[in-house]
Amino acid sequence: MSSRLTVVVSMLAVCTAVTVGASMRADGDRASARDALLDDPRTMPRLRNESRARGVVEVTLTAAPATLSLAPGSPSAVYAYNGRVPGPLLEVSEGDSVIIHFRNALPEETTVHWHGLHLPFNADGSPFQPVPPGGTHDYVFRVKPGAAGTYWYHPHPHHRTAGQVARGLYGTIIVRAAKDPLPPMTERLLILSDNRLLPDGSFDFPARQTDGGRADAENGREGKLLFVNGRLMPTLEIRAGEIQRWRVINASAARIYRLSLSGHKLLHVGTDGGLFENPEEVDEILLGNGERAEFLVRGTGAPGTAVKLQSLPYDRYIPQTRPKDWQTPLDLLTLQYTDDRPVKPVSIPSKLRVIPALDTTLAKERRFIVMSQLLINGKAMDMARVDVTSSVGRTEIWEIENVVGMDHPFHLHGFQFQLLSRNGVPEKDRRWKDVVLVPKHETARFVVRFDSYAGKWMFHCHILDHEDQGMMGVLEVTPTGDAR
C-alpha cells in the first residue's frame, strides 16, 4: 500500500475515532472507516488519468513482483498491478477513449484481458497478444455507449492464467453511464477472491502428481482465505433505512459464490453487461467465475445490529473430488449498522432501462458447444486452430451443453450475448452477459451479434485451471461478410 494512502487512511480513522468519542466500538469504527475508503469506488485506489482531454482516459499499468502481507503471518511474494492486490480501479465512462500503457515487469510472459469489454482484437489481451518479460503493450479502445456496468481485468497468458491471478493479478473496472437510472447512493465495489497460503506466506501450489494437485486440476484451485478487495472479513457500514448499491465481481479461479445477507432480501439490479430492465427481489445471488452482480442492499435492520454476507453451500463438484466441508457456509464480510437513527429510504425506479433484443430471426448459424471435463467439442485448445468461423455483423445462436457432472462457467470474449433459455425454459428477462454458468448436465442457449470487430476471440470455461488445461476454443470473426 502506498504511504500516501496509508496516511489518508489513518487520518480519517483518527477523525472518526474523535467524532465517535466515547463509543464502545471505537476500534471497530476505525477499522470500518478504513474499510469504507477501500470499498467505495470514489475513494479506493484507482488508476490516475494522465490525460486532460475530455473523453480521454490514459493510464499506466505495470505488473511486477512485490512483497505484500495478504493475510496475517508471513508476507507473500506476490504479483501485483501498480504494487497492489487487487489492482487499482479503472473507472471510465461510456464513449470514453481509453489508452492503457502497460508494462510487464514480471519474470514471465503475461497479458491484460479487459473482461467483458467490447474492444478491438489487439486490445483484448488474449493469449494471441502475449507481452514478454520487460515488454510493453498499449491497450487502446473506445468504451461502447450502453456498456455501463462492472467489469474486471486479469492476465490471460496461455496455460499460465490461474497461477498469475492467484499471485495477485486482478483488478476492477467500472463503466459509468451517461445517465444512470439509479439515484445517487453509497456505492460498494467488492472483488471476491480466494487463496491458499503456506505458513511461510508462499502460495500453496501442490505438485500436479499429488492428491492436492489432482484435486486442483479437477475442481479448479480453491482456498479457505476469502478476500474482499484483498481483505479478510472486512466490516462495512450501513445506516438503518439507507439503501446501498453493491457491485460484486467473482475473481476466484474456481469458487462459485452463492451470496446471501442474513435477514435481508437483495434487490438484484444488474449483471455482467450492466443494469437489468427490471429490478428483481431475491434471497440469494449465484455468482459464477468471472461473473458480476449489482444489487441494492436495503438497510432494514435496526441501528447497532450487524449481519454477515455469506456464501451458502453450493455443489458444483463431482462426488469423487467434492471437498468434505462443502456444506459449511462461508463468511465474507460483516455489515454493521451504525447507531444513527434511521433515514428515509430513497425511492428506486421500477424500470431501469430498455435493452434492445438481438433479433434471433437474423441468426445465420446455430452452433453447438459441448463442454465435457477439460474439453470443448471433444478438443483441447490449439492456438493454431480456428474452431468457429463467422464474420462481422452476423447474428448467431449458440447452444452450450455441459455433458458432465461438474459446473462449467462459459465465457466469450469480445461480444456480450443475451441468454434465451436454460434447459429449454425461456429466460424471463433480457440481460447482457459475457459469462453463463452452465451447471452439471444442463444447457444454455444465447443469441450474439458480432458487432464491429474482426479478430480471433477466445471462448472458454472460466474455471482458470480448466482454461489453462485447454478448455478453450477460438472464434474467428472475419472482417467481410453480409453484415447487418
Residues that bind ligand C2O (CB under 6 A): 113, 115, 154, 156, 290, 411, 413, 458, 460, 462
Cβ at position 373, least distance to Cu ion in Å: 8
Segment near Cu ion (CB under 5 A), from 28-36, 206-214, 357-365, 407-415? Answer: 407-415
Cα–Cα nearest to 148, from 275, 56, 295, 43: 275
Q: Which is nearer to Cu ion, 98 or 374 (CB)?
A: 374
Q: Which is nearer to ligand C2O, 151 or 203 (CB)?
A: 151
Cβ at position 460, least distance to ligand C2O in Å: 6
Cβ at position 27, least distance to ligand C2O in Å: 38
* Residue 271 near residue 250, CB atoms below 8 Å: no
463 binds, among ligand C2O, Cu ion, none (CB under 5 to 8 A by kind): Cu ion
Out of 84, 118, 445, 466, the only residue in the binding site for Cu ion (CB under 5 A) is 466
142 binds, among Cu ion, ligand C2O, none (CB under 5 to 8 A by kind): none
Segment near Cu ion (CB under 5 A), from 197-205, 236-244, 249-257, 459-467? Answer: 459-467
146 binds, among Cu ion, ligand C2O, none (CB under 5 to 8 A by kind): none
Q: Which is nearer to ligand C2O, 61 or 335 (CB)?
A: 61
Please report whether residue 461 would count as binding Cu ion according to CB under 5 A: yes
Q: Which is nearer to ligand C2O, 114 or 276 (CB)?
A: 114
Cβ at position 188, least distance to ligand C2O in Å: 22
Cβ at position 154, least distance to Cu ion in Å: 16
- Encode the chain in three state secondary structure: CCHHHHHHHHHHHHHHHHHHCCCCCHHHHHHHHHHHHHHCCCCCCECCCCCCCCCEEEEEEEEEEEEECCCCCCCEEEEEECCECCEEEEEEECCCEEEEEEEECCCCCECCEEECCCCCHHHCCCCCCCECCCCEEEEEEECCCCCCEEEEEECCCCCCHHHHHHCCCCEEEEEECCCCCCCCCCEEEEEEEEECECCCCCECCCCCCCHHHHHHHHHCCCCCEEEECCEECCEEEECCCCEEEEEEEECCCCCCEEEEECCCCEEEEEECCEEEEEEEEECCEEECCCCEEEEEEECCCCCCCEEEEEECCCCCCCHHHCCCCCCCCEEEEEEEECCCCCCCCCCCCCCCCCCCCCCHHHEEEEEEEEEECCEECCECCCCCCCCEEEECCCEEEEEEEECCCCCEEEEECCCCEEEEEECCEECCCCCEECEEEECCCCEEEEEEECCCCCEEEEEEECCHHHHHCCCEEEEEEECCCCCC
Cβ at position 464, least distance to ligand C2O in Å: 9
Cα–Cα nearest to 56, from 155, 143, 157: 143
Q: Quick one: cell of 256?
A: 462459485
Tell me the residue number closest to ligand C2O, measured at CB: 115
Cβ at position 403, least distance to ligand C2O in Å: 22
Cβ at position 156, least distance to ligand C2O in Å: 5
66 binds, among ligand C2O, Cu ion, none (CB under 5 to 8 A by kind): none
449 binds, among ligand C2O, Cu ion, none (CB under 5 to 8 A by kind): none
Q: Which is nearer to ligand C2O, 307 or 471 (CB)?
A: 471
Cβ at position 219, least distance to ligand C2O in Å: 18
* Terminal C-alpha separation, the chain: 49
The site that binds Cu ion (CB under 5 A) totals a number of residues, namely 4
458 binds, among Cu ion, ligand C2O, none (CB under 5 to 8 A by kind): ligand C2O
Helix axes 26-39, 3-20, angle to 10 degrees: 140
Mark 366-405 with x for binding to Cu ion (rule: CB under 5 A) and - for no binding. ----------------------------------------
Please report whether residue 63 would count as binding Cu ion according to CB under 5 A: no
Cβ at position 126, least distance to ligand C2O in Å: 7
In one-letter notation, the amino acid at residue 178 is A
255 binds, among Cu ion, ligand C2O, none (CB under 5 to 8 A by kind): none
Out of 63, 243, 463, 464, the only residue in the binding site for Cu ion (CB under 5 A) is 463
Please report whether residue 408 would count as binding Cu ion according to CB under 5 A: yes
Site residues, Cu ion (CB under 5 A): 408, 461, 463, 466
